[in-house]
C-alpha cells in the first residue's frame, strides 16, 4: 500500500546558468537596483512590487521593529557571539528565537483579532460597535487585548502616532487602523486606564490594511530584528559586554548559596 504523494512545488523562483527568476521577474534586470530591502520584503509577502505609497508605509512598519537598544534578543545575540564568534549568523538566529508570543508576536495577535472582527476592510463599519464586541469577548474569556499600552512608553508609545501620520500621508489610515484605535479606547474605558494603541497595534492594523495573512505578521518583526541584531553583533565585536554580563549575573544569582566571606573559603 503505497503512500499517497503530495506536491513539492514553489512559485517563488528558479535559476539556471545565466538567469535568476523571482516572482516571475528577471531578478538581475528588474529587481536588483530597483527595490530597496523593505520593498523586497513586500515582494516576498505579496508577490508584487509595492506602489510608492506601499513602499513608504511598509518600510516604516519594518523600520519600527529593527532596533530598540538592549532588548532580550540583543543580549541573547551578544552572549551567543561570546561563545561562537566564528558563527555570527547563529548569534543572530539565537536572538530571533525569542520573538514569540510575548514580544513581537503581538503583531500577529492584533491582526488575528482585527480580521476576526472585520474579515474585510469595510469603510462603512461601525468600528465603535465592533470594538465593544471585541473588548467584551476578550474580557469574558480573560484574554489580554494585544496592541495597546506599553510597559515603558507611557502613556503613549511615540511610534504609534508617527505610524498613524505616515498612514495618513500614504492613504492607509483605513478601517483597520480606526478599529484598532476604537478597541484601545474601549479597553481604556472598560479598565479606567489610558491604554492607547501601541506600535505593534498600529503595525498589526496596517498588516490587515495591506492584506497580509495574520499568520505571517510576526514575520515583519523577524525580518526587521535580524537587521538590528547584526548591528548589536558589530558593537559586541568592538566593545564586548557579553562576558561581563555572564559573570555579573552569575554573581547576583548565586550569592545566596556562596559561603559568607571569612567562612568556607578559609576552611
Report 119-178 residues binding a copy of itself (CB under 8 A): 152-154, 156, 158-159, 162-163, 165-166
Q: Which is nearer to a copy of itself, 166 or 183 (CB)?
A: 166
Our finding on whether 211 is near a copy of itself (CB under 8 A) is: no
Q: How far is the CB of 111 from a copy of itself (least distance, A)?
A: 13
How many residues interact with a copy of itself (rule CB under 8 A)? 130
In DSSP notation, 234-266 reads HHHHHS--HHHHHHHHHHHHHGGGSPPTTSSTT
Q: How far is the CB of 39 from a copy of itself (least distance, A)?
A: 8
Q: Which is nearer to a copy of itself, 134 or 229 (CB)?
A: 229
- According to DSSP, the residues that pair with 26 across neighbouring strands are 21
Question: Restricting to residues 44-103, which ones interact with a copy of itself according to CB under 8 A?
Answer: 44-45, 55-56, 59-60, 62-64, 66-73, 75-76, 79-103
End-to-end CA distance of the chain: 73
Q: Which is nearer to a copy of itself, 32 or 128 (CB)?
A: 32
Distance CA 35, CA 48 (A): 11
Question: Restricting to residues 233-262, which ones interact with a copy of itself according to CB under 8 A?
Answer: 233-235, 237-254, 256-258
Distance CA 137, CA 84 (A): 47
Our finding on whether 210 is near a copy of itself (CB under 8 A) is: no
Grid cell in block for residue 143: 484574554
Question: Restricting to residues 19-48, which ones interact with a copy of itself according to CB under 8 A?
Answer: 19-22, 27-29, 31-33, 35-41, 43-45
Distance CA 203, CA 217 (A): 9
Q: Which of 3, 52, 119, 262 binds a copy of itself (CB under 8 A)?
A: 3
The DSSP H or E segment spanning 21 is strand 20-22
SS (H, E, C) 32-56: CCCCCHHHHHHHHHHCCCCCHHHHH
Amino acid at each position: 500500500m503505497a503512500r499517497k504523494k503530495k506536491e513539492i512545488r514553489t512559485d517563488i523562483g528558479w535559476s539556471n546558468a545565466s538567469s535568476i527568476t523571482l516572482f516571475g521577474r528577471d531578478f538581475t534586470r528588474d529587481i536588483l537596483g530597483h527595490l530597496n530591502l523593505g520593498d523586497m520584503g513586500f515582494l516576498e509577502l505579496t508577490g508584487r512590487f509595492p506602489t510608492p505609497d506601499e513602499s513608504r508605509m511598509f518600510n516604516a512598519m519594518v523600520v519600527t521593529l529593527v532596533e530598540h537598544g538592549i532588548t532580550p534578543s540583543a543580549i541573547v545575540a551578544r552572549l551567543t557571539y561570546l561563545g561562537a564568534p566564528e558563527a555570527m549568523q547563529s548569534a543572530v538566529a539565537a536572538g530571533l528565537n525569542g520573538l514569540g508570543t510575548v514580544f513581537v508576536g503581538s503583531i500577529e495577535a492584533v491582526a488575528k483579532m482585527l480580521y476576526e472582527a472585520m474579515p474585510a476592510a469595510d469603510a462603512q463599519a461601525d468600528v465603535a460597535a465592533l470594538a465593544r464586541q471585541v473588548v467584551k469577548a476578550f474580557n469574558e474569556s480573560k484574554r489580554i487585548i494585544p496592541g495597546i499600552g506599553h510597559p515603558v512608553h507611557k502613556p503613549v508609545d511615540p511610534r504609534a502616532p508617527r505610524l498613524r501620520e505616515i498612514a495618513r500621508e500614504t492613504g492607509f489610515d483605513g478601517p483597520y487602523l480606526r478599529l484598532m484605535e476604537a478597541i484601545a479606547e474601549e479597553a481604556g474605558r472598560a479598565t479606567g486606564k489610558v491604554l492607547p494603541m501601541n506600535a505593534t497595534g498600529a503595525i498589526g492594523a496596517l498588516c490587515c490594511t495591506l492584506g497580509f495573512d495574520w499568520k505571517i505578521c510576526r514575520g515583519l518583526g523577524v525580518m526587521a530584528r535580524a537587521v538590528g541584531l547584526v548591528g548589536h553583533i558589530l558593537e559586541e565585536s568592538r566593545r564586548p559586554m557579553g562576558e561581563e554580563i555572564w559573570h555579573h549575573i552569575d554573581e547576583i544569582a548565586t550569592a545566596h548559596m556562596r559561603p559568607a566571606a571569612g567562612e568556607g573559603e578559609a576552611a
